[in-house]
Amino acid sequence: MVNSNNVTRKFTMKEKLASLGPGFVIVGSFIGPGTVTSCTLAGATYGFTLFWCVVFSVIAVIVMQGMAARIGIITQEGLAENMKHDFADRPLLRNILCGLVIIAITIGGLAYMGGDLTGTAMGASALTGVPTRIMAPILGVIVLIVLLFVGDAVKYLEKLLSVCVTLMAIVFLMTMLIVRPNFGELLRGCIPTVPKGGLMTCLSLIGTTVVPYNMFLHAASAQRTWHTKEELPLCMFGTTVPMIIGGVITGSIMITSAVVMRGMSVNNAMDMAVQLEGTLGRFAQPFMALGLLSAGISSALCSPISVSYVLAGLFDWKTDGSDKRFLGTSAIHSDRRNYYFRNWHQPVSTDHDCSGCKWNRTPGRCRCYSLPCKPSENYG
């Protein structure tokens, strides 16, 4: 971090660890039942051949999520707001783009959430014995209640998913080391090649990691967490580390299944637990069921939150509990006082005229980054 005197400031370890929250939300979102299933099927069917898809996905998600987070910090707006403002002088193109985004993100979010709830129900059914067709709607209601009545859902998700993702990383990494993969074959799997009949599996590996609506969620989350360009290095640390951990998890699942399950058919969720038996023994099936349950719940919670941020940005809704439209699409309650404190700034110099500043989009509120800014005393 660089202050006004151009003196480089080193961030403390506590600050770095605290910066991991928004990134872990994204990891918890893309590591859902679809990722676990895709990686398991890819390893069991094609061995290490498609490992390059995992490597590519991790690099792509670091770059794209990092760009989204930086935009959110510098502009203190979400991606949807930026898109709308950048094309303000071309209303026809703006409306077309906004319409396409609304359709794609909404339909995509519904599809992802449907798959997440199905995978969650599979895990819950394995633990309880209740049929999946009954568990799925029950879990859907639970997700709705959480979003309606849990204060700031994103804040709690950051803490919960940090623990869950770390635990999954440890277990799958230990399992990968126990099965001792052939690292020569693994390196050959880093060379891009698509085996016959493997195109859809390849696309599913990439599509379950690089999720478009996650960029909107990350921009909003970064905007709420960091507020100046001097914090960009901290943001990049908080983005890169969780994405790498997410890549370790997905890669470990594929590697383990390639060694343990090569040639085996996967007919249900518990068939995937075979790959964990070397580490967890008789606890492999309960852990896999619990893993699918937690992964599905986290992803199912993130999907409506992300869609709601997109719609809020395009339609100028407030992202707090005072706007029933936003509440109706994601059911997030945000701390209104905290929202204004974090998002609106005044210039330190009272002589500074912000009337011509491109960030000054609301009368009486300065969003100019040409001068050092301090939090406004007029929030709330």
Residue 359, pLDDT score: 43
Residue 55, pLDDT score: 94
DSSP helix/strand/coil, 152: coil
CATH 1.20.1740.10 residue ranges of the chain are 15-343
More reliable by pLDDT, 94 or 117 = 94
Q: State the Cα torsion 33-294-319-379 to the nearest 10°.
A: -140
Distance CA 153, CA 149 (A): 9
Query: Is residue 163 classed exposed, middle or buried when 0-12, 13-18 and 19+ CB atoms within 10 A define those classes?
Result: exposed
Is the predicted pLDDT of residue 341 greater than 80, yes or no?
no
Residue 176, pLDDT score: 83
**Mean pLDDT lowest for which of 125-129, 265-269, 284-288?**
265-269
In the predicted model, what is the mean pLDDT of the chain? 76
- Do the Cβ atoms of 182 and 262 come closer than 8 Å? no
Residue 48, pLDDT score: 92
CATH architecture of 15-343: Up-down Bundle (1.20)
φ, ψ (nearest 5 deg) of residue 346 = -120, 150
Query: Is residue 265 classed exposed, middle or buried when 0-12, 13-18 and 19+ CB atoms within 10 A define those classes?
Result: exposed
More reliable by pLDDT, 380 or 172 = 172
pTM: 0.73
The per-residue pLDDT for range 18-39, each reduced to its tens digit, is 888 888 888 878 888 888 888 8
Distance CA 286, CA 282 (A): 8
More reliable by pLDDT, 343 or 279 = 279
Residue 380, pLDDT score: 31
Comparing CA positions, the residue from 315, 334, 357 lying closest to residue 80 is 315
Average pLDDT estimate for 339-347 = 35
Radius of gyration of the chain (CA): 22
Residue 265, pLDDT score: 78
Average pLDDT estimate for 334-361 = 39
Is the predicted pLDDT of residue 197 greater than 90, yes or no?
no
- Do the Cβ atoms of 27 and 161 come closer than 8 Å? yes
More reliable by pLDDT, 219 or 145 = 219
The per-residue pLDDT for range 55-113, each reduced to its tens digit, is 999 999 999 999 999 999 998 888 888 888 888 889 899 889 888 988 888 888 878 77
More reliable by pLDDT, 29 or 2 = 29
Residue 374, pLDDT score: 38
The per-residue pLDDT for range 221-271, each reduced to its tens digit, is 888 888 888 888 888 999 999 999 889 889 988 998 898 888 887 776 677
Mutual orientation of helices 33-46 and 284-315 as an angle, nearest 10°?
Answer: 120
